[in-house]
Amino acid sequence: MTVNPTSNNFKENAKKALADDNLQAALNNLKGGLISKRKEAIKRLPEFDAISTRAKNIKDEVFLDLDFYLEKFEKKTIEYGGVVHWAEDANDAKNIILELLKSINAKIMTKGKTLISEEIGLNEFLEENGIEPVETDLGEYIVQIAGEKPSHIIAPALHKTKENVADLFHEIHSPLGYKERQNSASALVAEARSVLRKRYLEADAGLTGANFLVAETGSTAIVTNEGNGDLTQSLPKMHIVLATIDKVVPTLEDVSTILRVLNPSATGQDMATYVTFSTGPKRRDDNAGPDQFHVVILDNGRSDLIGTDKQDVLRCIRCGACMNHCPVYGAVGGHAYGWVYPGPIGAALNPALIGIEKSHHLPNASTFCGRCEEVCPMQIPLPKIMRHWRNEEWKKKIPKYSVRLVLKLWLFLVLNPVLYRIVSSIFVRILSFFSPQKGYFSNLPFASGWTSVRDFPAPEGKSFLSQWEEEHDDNK
Ligand code: SF4
């Protein structure tokens, strides 16, 4: 996959994903685990709903005064010796990071997991400019050496089975002296750790994302389970944090509130293994730590959402619960969505970041079953936001003329109930007349989108309304 969105190929991407046995096996193996772990963790936290409401309110309050909190964060960061850089869009952010790296003549930069760097296409940009980015999160490392993109926001290599990873490591690590093909998960992890340890020591700079920007202290915080973020940010001489404007929270207390819903929702843990705060570069008496601490704060279209009917999407803390519970994501995986954020959050966020024209299939790739909203710890009304995007799609006349015509006809009929009943009863009778003995149609010319992938049940003679009325009369 390239950094350019392929979201408008969603239908083709999804068809390929459904026919990919390896992907289906990977999705089956792993998804169930995340769902049941979340369920168990929430059982252990009876006050989950109350904390979730508090977490939602914290973010909503921040958005009322976003500039105030961002400026407060900047002031505090400077007080502790750090530098804040403001980036309006992806190009700004990439150029700022490149200039910082050039200023120390950096050749290798280790990276903790950051979706924002995927969003701006940072790796490709750095490579073009002679700097080697090295992913250190295990999942990110796997997809990087495979030449792929992450397919899940907390489990980037979710689309791969253990056997796939074993083959990949064998191929890539053999020239480095790791000749034996490892089969167990623990041996594969140990091998990756051994390879990556050397890279940490070679790196001139380390880049991490931030789960939080804490306004009261000027600290950035990351939440990890592998400790890779800590090595990335503390060993090289420069630490760069790349985060977006929506990550700011007022206080450390707010961080702890949101963490209590983030960890159970993401991995089913009560608390992640590492929650690391960075406040400025190393002090004079510190034995270790970076000499320079830079925070690049990116907008990239997010401030346009403030005050709109899509603002709620900015509350997202990237826990991944919505995609774990989404039947569409569960069937096709993350790559089908064609851009950085897959699943329901992608369907709600990507149109804001890359435009509805390039992503209009995504808000339609939903059954509106509502599970995403139900499990979202930040109470984001994802289906409602997808509906807003569908409206935009309609207003911009993006759907094909034939689709719009059918929908207009449908609208006309539902607004005229008598006519609707007459037309639907004629339609049902015609279908009944042609109904095959097997009880379903395998091919219907006007509904080929449906019948090309599944059978269409044949009506049983009368419309639902007529049957209901008959039953109602019998009960009198
Ligand atoms: S939308 Fe909600 S459930 Fe989905 S990743 Fe964001 S916070 Fe988690």
Would you place residue 476 in the very low, low, confident or very high pLDDT band (cuts 50, 70, 90)?
A: low
| Residue 439: domain span | 401-475
Distance of CA 125 to the CA centre of its chain: 22
The predicted pLDDT at position 67 comes to: 98
Instruction: Report d(CA 297, CA 88) in Å as an integer.
Output: 8
For residue range 211-233, list pLDDT tens digits in order. Answer: 999 999 999 999 999 999 999 99
Helix/strand/coil (H/E/C) assignment for every residue in 143-211 = HHHHCCCCCCCCCCCCCCCHHHHHHHHHHHHHHHCCCCCCCCHHHHHHHHHHHHHHHHHHCCEEEECCC
Residue 317 lies in a domain: no
**Residue of the nearest CA to atom 6 in ligand 1?**
316
* 48, 273, 454 from 263: Cα distances, Å: 11, 10, 39
Would you place residue 2 in the very low, low, confident or very high pLDDT band (cuts 50, 70, 90)?
A: very low
| Alpha-helix residue ranges (DSSP H) falling in 305-370 | 321-324, 327-332, 343-354
Instruction: Report d(CA 317, CA 338) in Å as an integer.
Output: 21
CA of 265, closest atom in ligand 1: 8
CA of 320, closest atom in ligand 1: 5
Instruction: Report d(CA 418, CA 461) in Å as an integer.
Output: 19
Using most ligand atoms within 8 A of CB, pick from 380, 384, 385 the residue to mutate for ligand 1.
380
Low-confidence winner among 46-55, 100-109, 121-130, 437-446 (lowest mean pLDDT): 437-446
Please tell me the distance between residue 308's alpha carbon and the centre of ligand 1 in angstroms. Answer: 19
Which amino acid would we find at residue 85?
H
The predicted pLDDT at position 31 comes to: 60
Instruction: Report d(CA 348, CA 388) in Å as an integer.
Output: 9
Residue 21 sits in the same domain as residue 133: yes
Residue 234 lies in a domain: yes
Q: What percent of the chain is helix, strand and coil (3-state, nearest 5)? A: 55, 10, 35
**Residue of the nearest CA to atom 8 in ligand 1?**
319
CA of 321, closest atom in ligand 1: 3
Residue 373 lies in a domain: no
Q: HSE of 341 in the Cβ direction (CA atoms, 13 Å)?
A: 26
Encode burial over 76-90: b for 16+ CB neighbours within 10 A, e otherwise.
Answer: bbeeeebbbbebeeb
Residue 182 lies in a domain: no
Residue 310 lies in a domain: no
Which of 286, 303, 320 is the C-terminal boundary of a domain? Answer: 303
Residue 125 sits in the same domain as residue 235: yes
Residue 178 lies in a domain: no
Helix (H) or strand (E) holding 109: strand 108-111
Instruction: Report d(CA 303, CA 88) in Å as an integer.
Output: 10
Please tell me the distance between residue 11's alpha carbon and the centre of ligand 1 in angstroms. Answer: 24
Which of 278, 303, 328 is the C-terminal boundary of a domain? Answer: 303
Residues facing residue 134 across a β-bridge? 110
**Under 8 Å CB-to-CB from 91, ≥6 apart: which residues?**
none
* Of 356, 328, 354, 355, residue with least CA distance to 343: 328
CA of 313, closest atom in ligand 1: 1
Instruction: Report d(CA 256, CA 259) in Å as an integer.
Output: 5
What's the mean pLDDT in 282-303?
96
Would the pLDDT of 294 be above 80?
A: yes
Residue 298 sits in the same domain as residue 438: no
Which of 303, 332, 348 is the C-terminal boundary of a domain? Answer: 303
Would you place residue 272 in the very low, low, confident or very high pLDDT band (cuts 50, 70, 90)?
A: very high
Instruction: Report d(CA 372, CA 376) in Å as an integer.
Output: 6
Instruction: Report d(CA 470, CA 108) in Å as an integer.
Output: 75
Pocket of ligand 1 (CB under 6 A): 265, 316-322, 345, 375-378, 380
**Under 8 Å CB-to-CB from 427, ≥6 apart: which residues?**
none
Please tell me the distance between residue 218's alpha carbon and the centre of ligand 1 in angstroms. Answer: 25
**Under 8 Å CB-to-CB from 441, ≥6 apart: which residues?**
431, 435, 451, 455, 456, 458
Would you place residue 3 in the very low, low, confident or very high pLDDT band (cuts 50, 70, 90)?
A: low
Using most ligand atoms within 8 A of CB, pick from 312, 318, 323 the residue to mutate for ligand 1.
318
What's the mean pLDDT in 134-156?
96
- DSSP assigned state of 295: E
* Of 52, 346, 96, 51, residue with least CA distance to 243: 96
The predicted pLDDT at position 475 comes to: 56
Mean pLDDT for the chain overall: 94
CATH of the domain at 232: 3.40.50.10420
The predicted pLDDT at position 271 comes to: 94
Please tell me the distance between residue 371's alpha carbon and the centre of ligand 1 in angstroms. Answer: 11
Low-confidence winner among 231-235, 425-429, 459-463 (lowest mean pLDDT): 459-463
* 120, 198, 285 from 292: Cα distances, Å: 23, 22, 15
Residue 152 lies in a domain: yes
Looking at the whole model, is its pTM more than 0.85?
A: yes
For residue range 147-201, list pLDDT tens digits in order. Answer: 999 999 999 999 999 999 999 999 999 999 999 999 999 999 999 999 999 999 9
Residue 126 sits in the same domain as residue 274: yes
- Residue 222 DSSP SS3: strand
CA of 317, closest atom in ligand 1: 7
The total number of structural domains in the chain stands at 2
Residue 266 lies in a domain: yes
Instruction: Report d(CA 14, CA 336) in Å as an integer.
Output: 5
Please tell me the distance between residue 316's alpha carbon and the centre of ligand 1 in angstroms. Answer: 5
**Residue of the nearest CA to atom 7 in ligand 1?**
316
The predicted pLDDT at position 1 comes to: 38
Low-confidence winner among 128-142, 183-197, 240-254, 440-454 (lowest mean pLDDT): 440-454
Please tell me the distance between residue 128's alpha carbon and the centre of ligand 1 in angstroms. Answer: 33
